[in-house]
Homo-oligomer: A and B are copies of this chain.
Amino acid sequence: MSTFVVVGGDAAGMSAASKAKRDDPDLDVVVFERGEWVSYGACGLPYYVKGEIQSLEDLVSVTPEEFREERDIDLRTGHEVVSIDPDGRRVTAEGANGEVTRSYDHLLIATGAEATVPPIAGTDLEGVYTLGSMTDGRDLREFVSRSRSAGTFEQPDRGPACRFLETCTAPVGIVGGGYVGIEMAEALAANDFEVHLFQRGDRLLKSFSEATSEAVADHLRRQDVALYLDSEVEAIAGEDRAEGVVTSDEEVPVGMVLVGTGVRPRTRLVEDTDIELGPTGAIATDAYRETTVPDVYAAGDCAETEHVVTGEPAYVPLALTANRHGRAVGQTVAGDPAEGGPIAGTAAVKAFDVEAARTGLVGDEAARAAGFEPVTETIEARSRAGYYPEGGTVTVTLTADRPSGRLLGASLVSEYGEGAVHRSHAVVAALSEGATVADLENYDLAYAPPFNTTWDPVLTAAKVLGGKL
List A residues at the B interface (Cβ < 8 Å): 11, 41, 43-44, 47, 52-53, 58-59, 61, 179, 308, 318-321, 323-324, 339-350, 355, 357, 359, 385-389, 416-417, 419, 421-426, 428-430, 432-433, 435, 439-452, 454-456, 458-459
A131 → chain B closest CB, angstroms: 14
With a cutoff of 8 Å between Cβ atoms, the chain B residues found around residue A341 in the complex are 441-442, 444
Q: List 15 A-B contacts (CB under 8 A).
A: A43-B448, A44-B385, A47-B387, A47-B388, A320-B447, A341-B441, A342-B444, A346-B445, A347-B446, A422-B422, A425-B429, A428-B443, A429-B433, A432-B442, A433-B439
A-B CB proximity, top 9 nearest: A341-B442, A429-B429, A422-B422, A433-B433, A425-B426, A348-B446, A348-B448, A344-B444, A58-B387
Measured between beta carbons, the chain B residues less than 8 angstroms from A454 are 11, 41, 43, 319-320, 323
> In angstroms, how far is the closest chain B Cβ from the Cβ of A444?
4
Contacts of A439 in B (CB 8 A): 432-433
Distance in angstroms from A1 CB to nearest chain B CB is 25
Residues of B within 8 A of A422 (CB): 419, 422-423, 425, 446, 451-452
Cβ-neighbour of A355 out of B350, B421, B451, B458 (below 8 A): B451
A447 touching B318 in the complex, CB below 8 Å, given contacts A422-B425, A426-B429? yes
The complex is assembled from copies of this chain, and their number is 2
Complex formed: what's the CA distance from A347 to B421 in Å? 20
The reply to whether B429 and A346 contact each other, CB–CB distance below 8 Å, is: no
Residues of B within 8 A of A53 (CB): 387-389
Which residues of B sit under 8 angstroms from A343, Cβ to Cβ? 444
Is A385 a contact partner of B442 (Cβ separation < 8 A)?
no
Shortest Cβ distance from A433 into B: residue? B433
* A428 close to B426 (CB less than 8 A): yes
Q: Smallest CB–CB gap between A258 and chain B, Å?
A: 18
| A59 surroundings in chain B (CB, below 8 A) | 387
Chain B nearest CB: distance from A54 CB in Å? 9
Q: State which of B339, B348, B444, B455 has its C-beta within 8 Å of the C-beta of A428.
A: B444
